Amino acid sequence: MLSERQGQILTVIRAANGPVTGAEIALELGISVRTVQREISQINRSGIEIQSSYRGYRIKPSSLNSTWIGEARAAQPGSEGTPIDHTLLKALTQNDDPVDIDDLSEALFVSTPVLERSIRRLRPELARFNLELTRRRNKLRIEGREADKRALIGQLLVEEATNSFSTWDRLAAYFEDMDIDALKRIVLEAVDAQGYRIKTGYTQNLIANMAVALYRMRSNSYITEHADQGDRDDAVHIIARDICRKCSERRRIAPDTGDIDYLASLLTGQIEPKEHSADAAHGLEMSELVSTVERIANEVFDAFQLHIGFSQSLYNFSMHVKALIERTEAVQITDTEILENVKMNCPFVYELALLISKKLADAFDIEITDGETGFICIHVGLLIENMTAERKVRIVLMCDRYQGISERIRDEIERRFTDVATVSECDELDLDTDMLEQADLVVTTRNRPLALRNVVFVSPFFTPSDYLKIENAVGICLRERNAERTKALLEPFFDERLFTRRDIPTQDEAIRFLGKELIELGIVDETFITSVFMREEMSPTSFFGLFAIPHALEMSAARTMVAVLLSERGVKWGNETVHIVLMIAVCREDRKRFMEIYNTVVRSLCDKQRAHRLAEATTLSDFLERLVYD
Following DSSP, what letter does each residue of 387-424 receive, concatenated? GSPPPPEEEEEE---GGGHHHHHHHHHHHHHTTTEEEE
d(CA 530, CA 353): 22
Whether this model's pTM surpasses 0.85: no
CA distance 69 to 60: 12
Determine the pLDDT at residue 81: 40
Contacts from 387-392 at CB under 8 Å and sequence distance 24+? 387/306, 388/595, 388/599, 391/481, 392/420, 392/421, 392/422
Distance CA 18, CA 45 (A): 23
Give CA–CA dist 62/66, Å, rounded.
Answer: 8
- Mark the ranges of the chain whose per-residue pLDDT is less than 50: 65-82, 162-166, 277-283, 386-389
Contact 343, 352 (CB under 8 A): no
How far, in whole angstroms, is CA 283 from its chain's centroid? Answer: 35
Distance CA 314, CA 11 (A): 37
Instruction: Determine the Cα–Cα distance for residues 303 and 307; give it in Å rounded to an integer.
Output: 9
Answer whether 142's CB lies under 8 Å from 132's CB.
yes
pLDDT of residue 585: 93
Query: What tens digit of pLDDT does each residue of 426-465 get?
Result: 766 555 666 777 788 888 887 766 666 688 888 888 888 8
Looking at residue 295, what is its pLDDT? 87
Residues near 325 by beta carbon (within 8 Å), at least 6 away in sequence: 282, 284, 289, 364, 366
Alpha-carbon distance values, 388 to 17, 215, 260, 491 (Å): 21, 45, 52, 21
Q: SS3 letters for 22-45?
A: HHHHHHHHCCCHHHHHHHHHHHHH
At 328 the pLDDT is: 64
| Coil vs helix vs strand at 120 | helix
Residues 479-514 pLDDT 10s: 777 777 777 777 888 999 999 999 999 999 999 999
Compute the radius of gyration of the chain from its Cα atoms.
29
Burial 69-83 (b: 16+ CB within 10 A, else e): bbbbbbbeeeeeebb
User: What is the pLDDT, as a whole number, of residue 281?
Assistant: 41
* Among candidate residues 161, 135, 215, the one with its CA nearest the CA of residue 183: 215
